[in-house]
Amino acid sequence: MTPAEFNALPAPLFWRRVACALYEQLVLLGVIALCFLLPNLALGMLFGLALPSWLSFCYLYAVLGIYFVWYWTKSGQTLAMQTWNLRIIGPGGFNLTRRLALRRYLLGSLWILPCIGLQAILHLKEWQIIEMLFVTSLFFWPLSIFIDPKPTGLRQDVPDRIAGTRIVQIPKSLVTLS
């Protein structure tokens, strides 16, 4: 497809976004296990070291950033987006540049800030924090499409509007297996 054709595609509806986000979280469990848990377990078992929580967070944030930026610049689709026939495009329907993908990743992760505030106010512990992060990323960001004044097929969530990117739904007739 040409960039102009990608640019003409409609935006996905709310439940497709939620399904894609849920599937993305399942995929990210594997990424986290491979790139985060294994090295940390090795450090702990071999050397008796544990990274401070702030360093672990920064490392995990960087690993996830590399995952998203790489997929978005390579094909415009993460593994979950490929499954749900979604694609992220830049202005004019072109693939994202590395800089634009990084900007989209940083803006897309702003949902963490209210979670940090709620955790401090409510004094959440362990699994409660994970549940809050899960629900926030799964439902609240996709719900932000409803504050977009555009018609239903053109609505984008907050990070995409600010970054200048769009998530579009690719028709099944145009999907090819690669």
The per-residue DSSP string of 149-171 comes to -S-GGG---HHHHHHT-EEEEPP
**Regions of the chain short of the pLDDT cut 70:** 127, 175-178
3-state DSSP assignment of residue 124: coil
Predicted local distance difference test score (pLDDT) of residue 175: 64
Predicted local distance difference test score (pLDDT) of residue 120: 79
Q: What pLDDT digit, counting tens, does each position of 130-145 carry? A: 777 777 777 777 888 8
**Is residue 142 packed enough to be buried (19+ CB in 10 Å), middle (13-18) or exposed (0-12)?**
buried
Cα–Cα distance between 117 and 142 in angstroms, integer? 20
Q: What pLDDT digit, counting tens, does each position of 82-117 carry? A: 999 999 999 988 999 999 999 999 998 887 777 777
How far CA 67 is from CA of 11, 62, 71, in Å, comes to 23, 9, 6
Q: What share of the chain is helix, strand, coil (3-state, %, to 5)?
A: 70, 5, 25
In this prediction the pTM is 0.85
3-state DSSP assignment of residue 20: helix
Domain residue ranges in the chain: 3-171
Cα–Cα distance between 34 and 26 in angstroms, integer? 13
| N- to C-terminal Cα separation, the chain | 14
Cα–Cα distance between 49 and 135 in angstroms, integer? 32
